[in-house]
Structure 1
């Protein structure tokens, strides 16, 4: 048996993450991927990019500090290979190339600013076979700070995939009218591409749905029902930001975005006709590690 160390840096719109994973190789068996360490830093790049159009000097400095820390952590863990990917906020920032060059110059970390299609493809490459039944249909919904990736699986195969500019940070900063238009586009896509399936379930990924699943107390592998998620949405919506932090012990940068995130998952369930959502706790970072290992990145 051999244990190798791989890492992924996910530069999102609401936070920046470092995932260090153990890849366990054993003869005649498929490699196993196990989380060794996950560090999340609340740098909300989307608050800059979606409002001002560029990343502020303050957040550039914070990001540089995070990258330097991540480089040292990867060295301590003995990581042999890693990849850094930036998503929606960096995609839309007018100064993204300047930041990429500065980070590389100061830390040696090369950032790949990926488009929505590539993001969806990486997320879809995560190992879902233990969850997906080959004879059923699923709508995979990954909600981030700046975008939401949708993928339809049927009979174990990817049928369709789409990235939308609808995310938690973006919803908070957009006008109601703009959000209404974006939701209408998502509804149209989901309705069109799921109407032929009689039974469909959701697979949810992202920090917010992971938190809701943890709050539910359900055993791993059990789905959250539409009724429960709707009740949680109404409960969270009635609470103030301060109450979510003090009474539910949510992180300050989670307490505001969890409501719009829940609305996206609920809406996707409603439009697709799904009555349950599975939460396998996988996302872009996991996809990056697996894609790196299998030389797909």
Structure 2
């Protein structure tokens, strides 16, 4: 006999807002559940442009977010979702009216938005089955690129040995001045080199919508890594294309076509500075982590 439980995770990021609905299936006499995605909805509300440039969420985007949460609530009801959890990351965290917007949305939709810190975001993502792709005797640098921040976490012998969140993300990079960008890039380079200098045969693990798209474009089979050579070639390939060409020739969404270039630069730079020659892409994200954390009563 099967037990089926429907859970949902809402990820309110700097570049987009996502709703993931998952069927958690447990067979009789089995303690190991199967997580199967039932629906994924992505809405391109770029809150990061408001938060990182103007310092607050605009009235227009607040209303768009409100409508999105209202729609998500209805979708969860139709799907029969029993439990959900909504997280907002750097854009809502840094916006001066982030808490105010979250409170208003709760009053009008009853969707409670939890504004979380970078370390909590990383911890939720780690609640996925990331451990299954880690070889305990090898070191890994986990890189999660968002719209407003990037989380770096270093694994060695199957354990986390250091982590750091930097205020550099795809949306933020597009709006940084050259001096601001140079300073943050220098800080990241120093941190990565310092923390990986004694680790041999290190590989990257990449997460985020952009690396998932890069992996899909590569045509690689799931579980196979992308090489440093491929990432370099792909970066130069993207750089030579115009924004319009990335949409028309690669089939990218308009809100992906501009941010995929800075995202690729972050992953590629992390590979160079850590000495990694390959990057694994398990296709996990915050919403996946939310669902699994809900199931195991960690949220």
Same fold flag (TM > 0.5): yes
What's the counterpart of residue 186 of structure 1?
A: 188
Q: TM-score, normalised by structure 2?
A: 0.98
Q: TM-score, normalised by structure 1?
A: 0.98
- Is 152-161 or 195-204 further displaced after alignment? 152-161
What's the counterpart of residue 6 of structure 1?
A: 7
CA-CA distance at 1:130 after TM superposition: 2.5
Matching of residue 37 in structure 1 with residue 39 in structure 2: yes
CA-CA distance at 1:29 after TM superposition: 3.5
Matching of residue 109 in structure 1 with residue 111 in structure 2: yes
Query: For 1:6-33, what per-residue CA distance to the aligned partner results, in whole angstroms no more than 9, with x for missing partners?
Result: 1000000000000001111122331121
CA-CA distance at 1:174 after TM superposition: 0.8
**Unmatched segments (≥5 aa) in structure 1:** none
Distance, in Å, in 2 between the alignment partners of 1:140 and 1:155 is 14
- Is 29-38 or 83-92 further displaced after alignment? 29-38
Query: For 1:64-93, what per-residue CA distance to the aligned partner results, in whole angstroms no more than 9, with x for missing partners?
Result: 010000000001111100000000000000
Give yes or no for contact 1:120–1:161 (8 Å, CA) kept in 2: no
Give yes or no for contact 1:6–1:21 (8 Å, CA) kept in 2: yes
Query: For 1:207-227, what per-residue CA distance to the aligned partner results, in whole angstroms no more than 9, with x for missing partners?
Result: 100001000001111000000
Matching of residue 263 in structure 1 with residue 276 in structure 2: no
CA-CA distance at 1:188 after TM superposition: 1.2
Runs of 4+ in 1 over 6 A off after TM superposition: none
Matching of residue 94 in structure 1 with residue 96 in structure 2: yes
Give yes or no for contact 1:120–1:163 (8 Å, CA) kept in 2: no
CA-CA distance at 1:156 after TM superposition: 1.5
- Is 155-164 or 54-63 further displaced after alignment? 155-164
Distance, in Å, in 1 between the alignment partners of 2:163 and 2:38 is 30
Matching of residue 60 in structure 1 with residue 71 in structure 2: no
Q: CA RMSD in A?
A: 0.9
What's the counterpart of residue 16 of structure 1?
A: 17
Report the 3-state secondary structure (helix = DSSP H, G, I; strand = E; otherwise coil) of the residue aligned with 2:193. helix
CA-CA distance at 1:107 after TM superposition: 0.3
Give yes or no for contact 1:120–1:162 (8 Å, CA) kept in 2: no
**Unmatched segments (≥5 aa) in structure 2:** none
Matching of residue 142 in structure 1 with residue 144 in structure 2: yes
Distance, in Å, in 2 between the alignment partners of 1:187 and 1:101 is 38
Report the 3-state secondary structure (helix = DSSP H, G, I; strand = E; otherwise coil) of the residue aligned with 1:163. strand
Query: For 1:149-169, what per-residue CA distance to the aligned partner results, in whole angstroms no more than 9, with x for missing partners?
Result: 111111221111111110000
Distance, in Å, in 2 between the alignment partners of 1:245 and 1:222 is 26
Query: For 1:168-226, what per-residue CA distance to the aligned partner results, in whole angstroms no more than 9, with x for missing partners?
Result: 00000110110111111111111111111111000000010000100000111100000
